[in-house]
Structure 1
Amino acid sequence: MQDRSTFHDAATPLPEVAGYRVLRRIADGGMSTVYLARQESLGRDVAIKVMRPEALGDEVSRRRFENEARTIGRLDHPHIVGIHQIGRTADDRPFFVMPHMTRGHLGQRDLAGDEARIREILRALLSALAYAHARGVIHRDVKAENVLFDDADRPLLADFGIALRRGYGSRVTSAGLALGSTAYMAPEQARGEEVDHRADLYAMGVLTWEMLTGRLPFEAQDALSMAVMHAQDPIPRLPPHLRHWQKFIDRSMAKYPLKRHHDAADMLQALERIPYGPQRSFSPRDAAAAGVARMRDLPRGAWIVLGLILAAGLGFGLRHGDDTARGFFRASQPQPAADSMAVGGAAVIDNPDDALLRAAPESEASTLVEDARRQLEQRRLVSPSDDNAYDSLVAVARIAPDHLELPQLSAQLARALATDAVRATKNGDDADARARFERIATLVQATGLADDDLARELRRDTTAALAVRIDAAARRFDREAARKAAALAGVANLDADALGRLRRQAEAIPAVGAVLPGDPARMTVVRSGDGAYALTRRHISRSEYARFAEATGRPATLCRERASVLRVIARRDWTDPGFEQNNADPVVCVSWDDAQAFAQWLGARNGHRYRLPTTVEASGSAAAVGSRAVAEWLLDCEGDCVRRKVRGSSWRRDEDSRARDGGRGYDDVGFRLVREP
């Protein structure tokens, strides 16, 4: 857990960590201390978390510290604080090295009134939680102090000290206690019960309230009282200018996990549906109050006239009420033909009351409305062609645009079409989604439907669905799929900001053959069947491998082609493969294990995940290897994976895909890397 920064006590010696110059203590936790240090090899400031001496003898604390290191080591996400290195200090205390977050934590910021920034932070944190939850990690201590900001002012989730991992019982980290910060603690967590990912979602609800209002939803004098309030007290109400967030807060902070958002992705979709500003509603009570107020404003003369009219109507009803009532509610007997006579070919009814009692002929519009009602119940929205609600309601709008039931049925159809359109958008069925969007637009135009809530919901849901698709396409380097999704945004009638954002996101995906921007490995997007991946344009060079060996202290692997007595006389390794090389040439005489270690080191430096290519991936592109042709290690293996495959012609032999010993180096084998999504 990272608390507010403190100054180092001169009486307490600073720990000694090889390769780092520890500067001062910056934070304290229950079982560890965080120090600011300078990494001497790279000349950068880092944060080193070191276990306290008094915690070494506590088995629970030690396992909790190790659990945090293992947990963060498994998580590689742009909004989760990562780990550079783990090890032990000179006095044998466990430590791990993290980036130094220079912009402080969320608890030090006042975001009340800045809803746009609040939404950005929530999107980032929910993305991080979705990633962690998908890998079986529950944070269990989401709070403002554990949301840190880097130099680019990006929010990152930190402190997985009490995180729960799938496969580890909760008692590994709780031992029957309610761990976490009670100000953000879900009711079931406060009671010491088993928790799942929805405890993190509850804490996100508390964090949302805090950012919106500048204070916590529940405030108490001690931790126990705070926990009881979370478990028993009703969810507080937001002030009027923030009431458009209340529904989101109510579901996020529901007392029972089953009533909360299903997962982080569901919570993110709910976030996107929150209106941008308070909504004005006009209830029946408002209407009644307004009506009473208007009547109170009537002049006295108007009240007298109104009273005379009511009295006259009441008197007429008293005199004729019996006969009129019996005539209106009782069907009259058919009159003989003699009781009526034809005038000019038209029937003249002797008794006008009978004309009121006879059923009017059913109109075409009424028939179409009945058809539309039935078709909606049967989910015949736009098909079959001769029996669907869309055609029926468009016809009603053409012949009877003022029909009383047209607005309600049109809105019902539009919502059903919107649900289908969003579902088709999520599933990538663009033809069906496009057809639904076009039907909605035509229906609105034909019927004059004005449903602002429906329009907002449709835009939000569609924007969220398209953003998920484009993000998935970006991870596959599938620029065309992203462009296809962005093109659908135009048909969906999204607002200009959302439309522009989706298009920019799609265009930012590198095309096949392009170099990935900002990647130190100089990756190129390569086409493979229906997909694409990123592959280094050339073999890893001697200079690149030298930086890795210097930073990690990895020993050089022995290298010799076949068995030879020369191996005893002259040692060969990547620093001296037996022939002259310059720094830009491919590094050789490195084992398969060396190549994998390099990939992990590079990923820890820049936040991506790298690995060796498979046979299929390596065949997608040839790499320039200088004057000596060099083969390359592959991810594929044989048998027990002691022997690893290589690919490519080398200066020693023609195309050779035979497996070789993965623990030794060869002077004609180097390696390239693939960047995983």
Structure 2
Amino acid sequence: MTSPAKKTPLRTALVVQKTDWRTLIVVSSSLSLRRSLRKPSRPASQPIHSVRFTGYARDRNQGGWTMAVWRTEQEEGLPEIPGYRLMRVLGYGGMSTVYLGQQLSLGRDVAVKVMRQDVVGDEIGRRRFENEARTIARLDHPHIVHIHEVGRTKDGLPYHVMPVLPRGHLGRRNLVRDEARIREILEALLSALAYAHSRGIVHRDVKAENVLFDDAERPMLTDFGIALRRGYGSRVTTAGTAVGSTAYMAPEQARGSEVDLRADLYSLGVLAWEMLTGALPYKAEDGLSMALKHVQDPIPRLPPHLSQWQRFFDRALAKTPIDRFADAQGMLEAMRKVPHAQRQPLRAAIARFRGQHGPRKLLTAVGLMAIMVGAVVVAAQMDQRKAAETWAELRASATLSSPVSEPSIELDPTRGAPVPDPTDAMLRAVPESAAQRHIDDAKRQLQQNRLIAPVGANAYESVMAAWNSDSGHVDLPPISNRLIAALGDEAENRLRKGDEAAVRDLVSRVGRLATQSNGRHASAVAQLNKRLATTLSSKMDTALARHDRTAAAQVVDSAKALGMGRSQVAALQSRIERIAKPGDKVADSATGEMTLVMTEGRMVAVSRNPVTRDAYAEFVKATNRDTSLCRERVSPLRLLAPRTWQEPGFQQPGSGPVVCISWKDAEAFARWKSQRSKQRYRLPHANEALAVARSEGQKAVSEWLNDCVGGNCERRMSSGRSWRDGKGVRPLDAQRGYDDVGFRLVREM
């Protein structure tokens, strides 16, 4: 066999040499194709039909990462099955090949799934294949693919026969502009899942590629190879292993935890998001990163035109199963309550408003609309009543029979001109102040929380207009105090959110109000300044707790911008000097000297020194921790020459790094230290370990990391070169020890 002469990047390493029908290619950490584990049985000139990546392996001779690549069968030598004629390959799966065939007795086309020869000897692969047949055989639903027949080929390979679904899978369709069709597909799939769940079956791999369409365009749920049947445990997977497709995988499934029907509903929620938006809710470079996003990242927000769906997805994609829909029927009912954008535009608009602003603002908006409608109706009724009264008065005056004569005024030459009667003037109402209308407007606007907007119809402008109209109005001081208090609340809220521009505007308006009132509100302004100073101090406390100098400097800038006194600004400035910087050294009673590292916006302290044998001995004495294996289980030396952390096979002082301890031992040590010291210790992640150089002893050791391997947390990563291995990173069994692997600690700040 010939190997490629030049190195190949990891992403293009699937372009391998032309060899036999089944070849395992290994890609080393140098990214070159190193060797083949199987000699070719065919001339190298024959082309490869397809290549499929299966997982990672370890190159023991070279000590580096490897990547296994399997090539599938050529389209020749089709299996022979009595009663069927196989015509060509339709596709390849992880355990089987799917052929287009014809059932001779009925003359109909069928799909025949045949287990690959190399999987027959693999217990897990064989069980998955058999599990699919047994599972589908128990299900009879119009949206679940069914099986016609099962059996074995002439070569003894298991097979089962299914209908041909020629319309392709859901992943090849763009339904973004067809919400009605999306709802039809979701209803069909929810019906299928409800049926499967009622029979104790959890699919565990709901994704676009597993939804096929028949000739009638009906969606059909397929591929029950890793389905879990209630009462049968998880025999088709290894315990603690995450199975399924990470792009659609529920958080508990990604962690390798036990799953129930709510994991299927989560996956269907991802599929619904993908159909509506044309993209997955989370994007990542690889499967591990994708799984972590499902576990850790918040539920994303939909674009505005789809926000009526947001509440549905907030529940469908909840991180914990208890927060999701209880069953498929509940999810279906919730989906039917989501207004259709084309058929129910008003309901959809209300739902979008609620999805964007929350139920409280929705109720406020509805209340405002009701008030406005009510005001219009009342005004119309009052106008009608007033018009009727005026018309009645006119009619009465028109029917008077005799005119009223003017009263005679007698002149008294001794008193001069006559004095008019003051009665009418005394009974006339006092003229209304010009400020009253503005004050009434301000009261109403304060109730509606219209403090400074919209322009021309807000409380601030109304109060200022009242002061300009009649500064002596008795109601002006109390309404001004209410406005200043409300502006203060808003300024404090905006300051917490970091919106400095809005805070400066609000404080400026309060200052103008105080000036307009000739100092009558000086105490209210002083109280506002005190509240803002308290808020700034609280923000500084938060920055100190996080060791975030940037955030602390922003607090000082905010104090200056808001015109705080020099003493207040100086006090805040002095507190910044207490914040440690990345790279600073800090003492630690548990691990000695530690170095501060900023990672993902948080400061942590990373130890330079690995945990010593003496420190670990204290832990074992206090907890009676059992000793972990330090050799392979199959190694005969495990019995003849056992190794433990006390006797790793070479001499070590008590101050040397402890080895022959498992990841679980190291994690238990970190918890024990946390309980004793009231600090939170843990093992480092890869980026934290790389940020702080390790102190190397005479015999260098690698160190355990907190990072899982490909979503499987029964295997953990180790970092750093050791006396036994020259490579920097390798995956290891978390439950056993290694004589060249120790651990360091990280302390949360």
| TM class, shorter-length | 0.3 to 0.5
